[in-house]
Each structure stands twice: as C-alpha cells, then as structure tokens.
C-alpha cells in the first residue's frame, strides 16, 4: 500500500529570512517639513546594517539604535 506524501522533509522549523527596508538613501529627505519618523528610523537602521558590512543577525539592535538617534534628533528640533 502506498504511503501518503508528506509535505517537505519533515522539518517543521521555519527559516527566518532577514528583510531590509524599502527606503533607499536617495529617497530620504534631509529636513522634511513634516518628518516621517518611521522612514527616518528605517533609513538609519539600513545605514547601520550597511556600515556593518551587511552582516545579518543584528536587525533589532540596528532598529533600536536608529530609533534612539532619530527620536533624539526629533526632540531637539522640537525644543529648538
């Protein structure tokens, strides 16, 4: 009797794939009138990733550093 075909090789682990932001440096405006903080954070995180030589595994760290930097700059602009 034939056995039912199994999907895949039985390995149930899901492979994580790093994704990079859709914004490139050329799309970033240096001083927007209404800053899009998420876009700025995304761009800065990508820059950090690029500076590291595109080494994967530090996405969260890059995002957190970028977020701190961008929010600090935004707060300085608002208080000035």
72 token code pair: 């600090």
Mean pLDDT, to the nearest integer, of 48-61?
96
Mean pLDDT, to the nearest integer, of 43-54?
97
Name the pLDDT band for 3 (thresholds 50, 70, 90): low
Q: Is the dihedral of CA 7, 9, 10, 11 positive or negative?
A: negative
The values of phi and psi at residue 43, to 5°, are -65, -45
Give the pLDDT of residue 29: 45
Give the integer Cα–Cα distance in Å for 5 and 20: 36
Give the integer Cα–Cα distance in Å for 25 and 56: 19
Give the pLDDT of residue 32: 46
35: closest CA among 79, 80, 70? 70
Mean pLDDT, to the nearest integer, of 9-27?
53
Q: Whole-prediction pTM value?
A: 0.56
Q: Where are the domains of the chain?
A: 34-79
């Amino acid at each position: 009797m034939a056995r039912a075909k199994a999907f895949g090789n039985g390995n149930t682990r899901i492979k994580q794939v790093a994704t990079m932001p859709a914004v490139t440096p050329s799309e970033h405006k240096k001083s927007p009138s209404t800053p899009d903080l998420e876009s700025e954070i995304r761009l800065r995180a990508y820059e950090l990733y690029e500076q590291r030589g595109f080494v994967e595994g530090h996405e969260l760290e890059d995002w957190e550093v970028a977020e701190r930097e961008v929010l600090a700059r935004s707060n300085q602009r608002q208080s000035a």
